[in-house]
Amino acid sequence: MYATKCLRRLPCLGAIGLSAATAVFAETAEPKVRPAYCAGQWYPDSEAELARQVDDLLARASPPTSGVRPLALIVPHAGYRFSAPVAAEGYRRLQGHRYRRAIVLAFSHSSAGLYNGVDVPEDLTAYRTPLGEVPIDREVCDSLLKSPGFAAHPGIDRGEHSLELQLPFLQRTVREFRLVPLLIGRMSTSDYAAAADAILRWVDEDTLLVASSDFTHFGPQYGYTPFENDAPNKLRELADQAGAPILNCDFDGFLDHLAKTQDTICGRGPIALLLRVLSMYASSVAVRSGSDTSGRMMNDWTNSVTYQSFVFTARTGTLNREDRDRLLPLARLAVMAQLDGKERPRVETDKLPEKLRADGACFVTLENHGRLRGCIGNMVADGPLYQSVIRNAVSACQDYRFREDPVTAAEFDQLDIEISYLTPMKRVQKTEEIIVGRHGLMISLGPRRGVLLPQVAARRGWTRAEFLSQTCRKAGLPPEAWKHPEAEIYSFEAEVFGEPKPTALPASGGK
């Protein structure tokens, strides 16, 4: 794995060197408070100087174009001389926002290829920097240590910089927060899904996710020379290729990029896990907030490291909060009327917002403590959206899959209602266009047709290939039927919203 080789050559510019790393590994006592190993080497060890440098970098960074609250960042971690200006472009977007918790996904340059899963500190209480101590969120860490794929690997973070270098920026922007420090090791695609599911239990609107990574390490010192000439432009192209799936929050696309190019992105594990979490958590959008190379800074392209930063926010839909707050009660009234054997609710259409009176396609999903009880919808808009919601809410109570165990009036108060407002379908020309977490699928072959909503694949952490296969199964087709030359694949997007689910368990069963 590239991250293991990185320290053997020349890590990211500004490294402490192999001898120093070996020295810190020789320490035997595990402190409750992790010391600032990298202070004075990767960044200033003076509190005043460090605060002044970080604040100056943040002040020089581009101001946010909107006040939208970030969900997550990808930021670089080389010595501040090289990567801090690009990191500041991402961290500047946090100013004015507060978070209770920061989950930082990093890795060990010396040990990432030596263990499987995710490292979680077992008994640390804080990380120390010259700016003070950052308390560990022990509740989260202790919970994760009980989850498959998470374990403590004492010593692997001694001297490691990928996580530590993020803390001063967090201390000067978020300021008061608890830290969940996670170091990513070897991971399979299924490992990423399982780890993301465990992490998601602790992700809410007061939680910030940060993935620490530099990008392409080019040149003989890094063992990566995919081109010989025009390094500045070729590296820019490679950065754009790596950034494209990130901007789309496309987990599969990012792994495809790595497999195709062998791009030496040291924090590939943290980035992949972040994309997996975001695809399962919420429909997200990203912007690249900063980019640079050490080759440009040093005016020497023999060896160069690329630095990029990305900011993720929740995708906004066409329905506002008022629209959603009108549709959800309509769906609940329709369900109640159906279960009580009464007429469907009558609506004063002149009092409805115009968007709800316009034609719209939707699905209505019923769950009881996370257990699917019905999901019915229309793929093509064939009438006003509000009527589609009422009609599909009634039909969801009669979902044919639950003929032997239909929804009853007795469980009405336990039902959670979710509405998926669909965009028009689009014929898929290349399956690489499909993004898990954003797209739903409809696959038809002959008389059979199967539909799965975007949130079904997202919540289960499916890969693109698994999503395609499961949609075929939904249609009663063989799992590889999507490869048939006569198979038709359509994608669509959905604005998904529902009532609070304080007691919901992880979803089960297909929709």
pLDDT at residue 17, rounded to an integer: 41
What count of other Cβ atoms lies within 10 Å of the Cβ of residue 142?
A: 13
DSSP for 413-444 reads: GGEEEEEEEEPPPEE-SSGGG--TTTEEEEEE
- Locate the domains of the chain by residue range: 2-314, 321-498
Q: How far is CA 224 from CA 4, 160, 185, 299, in A?
A: 14, 23, 21, 19
Q: How many other CB atoms sit within 10 Å of the CB of residue 442? A: 19
What pLDDT does 93 receive? Answer: 96
Ordered per-residue pLDDT tens for the chain, 511 residues: 444 334 333 345 444 343 344 444 444 445 599 999 999 999 999 999 999 999 999 999 999 888 899 999 999 999 999 999 999 999 999 999 999 999 999 999 998 888 999 999 999 999 999 999 999 999 999 999 999 999 999 989 999 999 999 999 999 999 999 999 999 999 999 999 999 999 999 999 999 999 999 999 999 999 999 998 999 999 999 999 999 999 999 999 999 999 999 999 999 999 999 999 999 987 789 999 999 999 999 999 999 999 999 999 998 889 999 999 999 999 999 999 999 999 998 899 888 999 999 999 999 999 999 899 999 999 999 999 999 999 999 999 999 999 999 999 999 999 999 999 999 999 999 999 999 999 999 999 999 999 999 999 999 999 999 999 999 999 999 999 999 999 999 999 999 999 865 433 333 334 5
**Residue 500 φ then ψ, to 5°:** -55, 145
What pLDDT is recorded for position 317? 85
pLDDT of residue 31: 55
CB count within 10 Å of CB 123 equals 13
Q: Which two tokens stand for residue 347?
A: 């609506």
What local confidence, expressed as pLDDT, does residue 505 receive?
Answer: 34
| Strand ranges across the sheet with 33-34 | 33-34, 126-129, 132-135
Looking at residue 396, what is its pLDDT?
Answer: 97
Tens of pLDDT, residue by residue over 406-451, are 999 999 999 999 999 999 999 999 999 999 999 999 999 999 999 9
Amino acid 84: pLDDT? 97
Task: Write down the pLDDT at residue 283.
Answer: 79
Q: Which numeric CATH code is attached to 321-498?
A: 3.30.1490.150
CA distance 195 to 120: 12
Please tell me the pTM assigned to this model: 0.88
- Domain spanning 2-314, CATH architecture: 3-Layer(aba) Sandwich (3.40)
